[in-house]
Structure 1
Amino acid sequence: MNSPGLTGALATFVANLRPENIPLAAQSEVRRAMADCLGGALAGAHEEVTRIAASVQARPGGACTLWGRPERSDVSEAALTNGCAAHAHSLDDTHESMRGHPSAPVVPAILALGELVDASGEDLITAYVAGVEVAGRLGRGVNDRHSQLGWHTTSTLGTVGAAAACARLLGLDAQRTAYALGLAASMAGGLRVNFGTMAKALQAGLAAQRGVQAARLAAGGMVTSTTALEGHEGFLQLFCDDGSQDADRALHGLGQSLEVLTPGIVYKLYPTCSLMHALIDMVRHARSQGVWADTAGLELRCGISERLEAARGKTWPSGGLAAKFHVQYSVAVAALHGTQSVADFTDEAVHRPGVKALAEQVQVTLGQDFPTGNGDFAELVVLQDGQEVFRQRQAKPLGHPSMPLSAAQHEAKFLDCAVPALGAERARALLELLQSSPACSARALARALALSTD
């Protein structure tokens, strides 16, 4: 290749990535991220968005598994349906460079394609690292301006990341990988206006599907510009309109560190917008400390970041999906129940009188003197009958690399998600398979994820 720019550099990195280049710490993180994604996807396997996708995409005799469901489908359709399931409850991991969810598009793409081509566990790990590297670095290149313009980063950046992962899985050379990235750049889309609806999960599924398609088309000989990401009227310029895009920033340190470790994967405890999780952590902590005896006379004052202010719902949610972005509702749920679960974000749950009454006692304002650039930063002040009884600030949520979950917490989350879909015995067997050494193959995982193995 003779392309020295962003597209060529990322393509060369992906094409040259080998299992022996990946540190053991990164391999362990990939296993953890894949298990987390699959658990969340099994919880979402029978949600309405997944059911609709499966009903449209299922193909009798298809080559690929629909996770936690009896149907099968073709490879790109399976990636779409499983991607919808992975993002259905918003339980899937996030990433700070990407400012979105890396595993929801990448894992469905590589497991569907991996099942088709009989990829080994080692192949899957390498492909995942490649996909997150590209999505994260491209996120650095467009910075937060991309999201501010209304783009859904999980879908836009995730499409290119999934294509990179699939190109690595297919063993494409640097030239063909560059074409795969270029095709994915043409396919990328996804709108924040669709947050709070089924289309948000669909956009993650579309990213997975298009990643598969882009890599397969490139493998088949489809040609694009080799500067599709950084060129005039390319991805960076069109998806970041104010001149702040920076290909050099995206490439800084390429090959010296891996995005799966630095800044690393952020795991979610709650099925809500990740930007409110530090706040929810503090509400749960205050409740567990017995800060209030009852909710009479209780006032919860929440200081939030500018990023959360831009993302949050401003009117009472019409249903469970919209409630995932409503700070007052989410705070009230945590204050009443000490946690947040999938069951708290159904259409019926939103209209519980007790939750709505407490939500009216929650005040939300922009935080004062918050550090710039940290969308997670939050402050909680609790008053009981007008007297301050609790005050705390928190920079990052539980599950962030700086505040990691324990192995027991990861396992508990996985089983909570997977047992209802597979049953306790099969869910535990799947977890053991995901933790096995050497890493298990795509087809072994597919058999364990299928609702019926006939």
Structure 2
Amino acid sequence: MGSSSIAERIGEFAAAATFEDLPRAVVDHARNLALDSVGVAFCAAGEPFAERARRAVSRFGRGDHPVLGSPDRLSARDAALLNGILVHGHDFDDTHIGSIVHVSASALPAALAAAVEHDRTTRELMLGYILGLEISARVGLAAHGGFHRAGFHPTGLAGAFGAAVAAATVSGSDAAGIAGAQQIVGSMASGILEFLEDGAWTKRLHPGWAAASALTAAGFAAADWPGPRAVYEGRYGLFATHLPGQECDTETIVADLGQRWEMLGTGVKPYPSCHFTHSFADAVLAVREHEGLEPDQVTDILCRIHPTAAAAVCEPLEGKRRPRDLYDAKFSLPYVVGACLQRGRLTLAEFTDESLTDTAIHAIADRVRITDDPDSRFPEAYSAEIEVTLRDGRVLTHREDVNRGHHERPLTPSDIERKYLANMRQVADEPTIERVRAAVADLGSDRGARDFAEACATAG
């Protein structure tokens, strides 16, 4: 059969990995990411999109798997699906910067569902979660930003492979089974960016679908269902079919596995909007604060941005000036700039129906212009530069070369805890907040994964 394929090499690595061999920094970062993920899931659980998701999955029956921040009891796959939607629904969840993949939103639901289904400990849960984070990031990195350019959502594609590794590992599969889960999930990995055209909700579904597909693939692999060996690198593999003619580096997926941990490049979001807008939010808020600016002083705001990022948050520009719904607003650079300059902040309160119709925000959005940024560090970082022209003729320039939350400018554990508390206090009482925080802090112990899942659910 020749040399091992990429999926087989990953299978061998994951099957041999132990929690005890993981670097302390990797485990600590994963625990911080889990705290952030659970917090944003709780915050999303009462939103209209969450209620519609519940109605959709309830058609398929009930089960015994708890759901984050919710009283629901679902099958393993439906719990993973709904958990992925909840973690990702506000677009406030973590992102691996270089790969542009929301890694936790599929890896955590898949690992959790498998761990509860197979009565694993939180130590086994954490190992699977971390491996899922790592493989999701590496698959996305191999594309060099190409998935976005081709119109695919990397979270739906790369996330499915990482989640498959997580699910198969936690389920107890051997190297062949973990390889097989990837080989099979390649036919299920999906997600297109057409939601950018009208603010549709499909993006919210992608990581949950990736997690549910991962559990399905792991189950079929465990039953010895053959999948294509070269699912990544083959003639009709992931990269050849999704990125024809584009330069990809599939060796990135397996290079230095276990020695270099890409998941450490996963950033926690400071703002509940598309990551491509974050440096601009910081830039506008910095100029506003340092100069004591009032919105009516500003006549023009020129934003320099990388073309790939601009395609997501700036095009078509006139449409982005008036987002059609709250989700559309999260992918609108003019709206984000307008909200930051007008209100001096960018929180979930800026993504409400009232904010969407705020004519003061609209007035600033109309003054936003877009141009290419030749010095952008995209996709390694999400850079921003603004030139703010004032009525008195002054021009104020501010550049954010690296977005906050990037591993070069990480949010501290205290920052992440503050974000967790802010999200949780919108929807939960203090005993619940402390119960969940203690459960996350105990991840990696001999405690049962079901106990963790129960602690992160709510009573009916």
Select the residue among 451, 454, 458 that pairs with 1:451. 458
- State the SS of the aligned residue for 1:28: helix
1:360-371 matched pairs, under 5 angstroms = 360-371=366-377
Describe the superposition over 1:196-235 as per-residue Cα deviations: whole angstroms up to 9, x where unpaired. 3211101121111111111122123322122222222111
Match of 2:420 in 1: 414
Letter matched to residue 108 of structure 1: P
1:310-329 matched pairs, under 5 angstroms = 310-312=311-313, 313=315, 314=317, 315=319, 316-329=322-335
Letter matched to residue 406 of structure 2: H
Q: Are 1:142 and 1:239, in contact at CA under 8 Å, matched by a contact in 2?
A: no
Match of 2:101 in 1: 100
Letter matched to residue 153 of structure 1: P
Specify whether residues 236 and 292 from structure 1 end up closer, same or farther in structure 2 by C-alpha distance, changes over 3 A only. same
The answer to whether residue 40 in structure 2 is matched with residue 52 in structure 1 is no
CA–CA distance in structure 2, aligned partners of residues 438 and 239 of structure 1: 37
- State the SS of the aligned residue for 2:301: strand
Q: Are 2:101 and 2:137, in contact at CA under 8 Å, matched by a contact in 1?
A: no
The answer to whether residue 170 in structure 2 is matched with residue 174 in structure 1 is no
Specify whether residues 170 and 10 from structure 1 end up closer, same or farther in structure 2 by C-alpha distance, changes over 3 A only. same
CA–CA distance in structure 2, aligned partners of residues 2 and 226 of structure 1: 11
CA–CA distance in structure 2, aligned partners of residues 111 and 441 of structure 1: 11
The answer to whether residue 119 in structure 2 is matched with residue 118 in structure 1 is yes
Match of 1:398 in 2: 404
Match of 2:269 in 1: 268
CA–CA distance in structure 1, aligned partners of residues 120 and 382 of structure 2: 37
Letter matched to residue 331 of structure 2: F
Shift of 1:433: 2.3
Specify whether residues 371 and 105 from structure 1 end up closer, same or farther in structure 2 by C-alpha distance, changes over 3 A only. closer
Specify whether residues 333 and 452 from structure 1 end up closer, same or farther in structure 2 by C-alpha distance, changes over 3 A only. same
The answer to whether residue 240 in structure 2 is matched with residue 237 in structure 1 is yes
Match of 2:438 in 1: 432
The answer to whether residue 145 in structure 2 is matched with residue 144 in structure 1 is yes
Shift of 1:317: 0.9
Describe the superposition over 1:113-165 as per-residue Cα deviations: whole angstroms up to 9, x where unpaired. 22222221211221112112211222232322222111111001101110011
Letter matched to residue 323 of structure 1: A
Letter matched to residue 147 of structure 2: H
Match of 2:224 in 1: 221
Shift of 1:23: 0.5
Select the residue among 331, 337, 342 that pairs with 1:336. 342
Shift of 1:288: 2.2
Shift of 1:166: 0.7
Match of 1:200 in 2: 203
Q: Are 2:92 and 2:273, in contact at CA under 8 Å, matched by a contact in 1?
A: yes
Select the residue among 391, 404, 408 that pairs with 1:385. 391
Specify whether residues 12 and 367 from structure 1 end up closer, same or farther in structure 2 by C-alpha distance, changes over 3 A only. same
Contiguous gaps of at least 5 residues in structure 1: none
Letter matched to residue 28 of structure 1: D
1:277-296 matched pairs, under 5 angstroms = 277-296=278-297
Q: Are 1:304 and 1:364, in contact at CA under 8 Å, matched by a contact in 2?
A: yes
Shift of 1:406: 2.3
Count of paired positions:
451
Describe the superposition over 1:56-114 as per-residue Cα deviations: whole angstroms up to 9, x where unpaired. 22366512112222221000001111111111110011113432210011111111222
Shift of 1:372: 6.1
- State the SS of the aligned residue for 1:383: strand
Specify whether residues 409 and 298 from structure 1 end up closer, same or farther in structure 2 by C-alpha distance, changes over 3 A only. farther
- State the SS of the aligned residue for 1:363: strand
CA–CA distance in structure 2, aligned partners of residues 396 and 91 of structure 1: 18
1:289-308 matched pairs, under 5 angstroms = 289-308=290-309
Shift of 1:359: 1.6
Q: Are 1:131 and 1:165, in contact at CA under 8 Å, matched by a contact in 2?
A: yes
Is the deviation greater in 215-224 or in 321-330? 215-224
Is the deviation greater in 361-370 or in 391-400? 361-370
CA–CA distance in structure 1, aligned partners of residues 87 and 46 of structure 2: 11
Is the deviation greater in 33-42 or in 234-243? 234-243
What is the TM-score when the length of structure 1 is the normalising length? 0.94
Specify whether residues 194 and 61 from structure 1 end up closer, same or farther in structure 2 by C-alpha distance, changes over 3 A only. closer
Shift of 1:373: 4.5
Specify whether residues 443 and 174 from structure 1 end up closer, same or farther in structure 2 by C-alpha distance, changes over 3 A only. same
Is the deviation greater in 242-251 or in 199-208? 242-251
Q: Are 1:319 and 1:346, in contact at CA under 8 Å, matched by a contact in 2?
A: no
Specify whether residues 376 and 414 from structure 1 end up closer, same or farther in structure 2 by C-alpha distance, changes over 3 A only. same
Select the residue among 231, 234, 255 that pairs with 1:252. 255
Is the deviation greater in 412-421 or in 381-390? 381-390
Q: Are 2:85 and 2:207, in contact at CA under 8 Å, matched by a contact in 1?
A: yes
Shift of 1:297: 4.1
- State the SS of the aligned residue for 1:107: helix
Match of 2:449 in 1: 442
CA–CA distance in structure 2, aligned partners of residues 224 and 199 of structure 1: 27
Letter matched to residue 110 of structure 1: A
Match of 2:81 in 1: 80
Is the deviation greater in 347-356 or in 317-326? 347-356
Shift of 1:2: 6.4
Letter matched to residue 379 of structure 1: E
Q: Are 1:92 and 1:267, in contact at CA under 8 Å, matched by a contact in 2?
A: yes
What is the TM-score when the length of structure 2 is the normalising length? 0.93
What RMSD in Å do the two structures reach over aligned CA positions?
A: 2.0
Letter matched to residue 449 of structure 2: A
CA–CA distance in structure 1, aligned partners of residues 94 and 23 of structure 2: 21
Q: Are 1:284 and 1:334, in contact at CA under 8 Å, matched by a contact in 2?
A: yes
Letter matched to residue 233 of structure 1: Y
CA–CA distance in structure 1, aligned partners of residues 289 and 428 of structure 2: 32
CA–CA distance in structure 2, aligned partners of residues 255 and 435 of structure 1: 24
CA–CA distance in structure 2, aligned partners of residues 431 and 57 of structure 1: 28
Identical-pair percentage: 28
Letter matched to residue 421 of structure 2: L
Is the deviation greater in 107-116 or in 152-161? 107-116
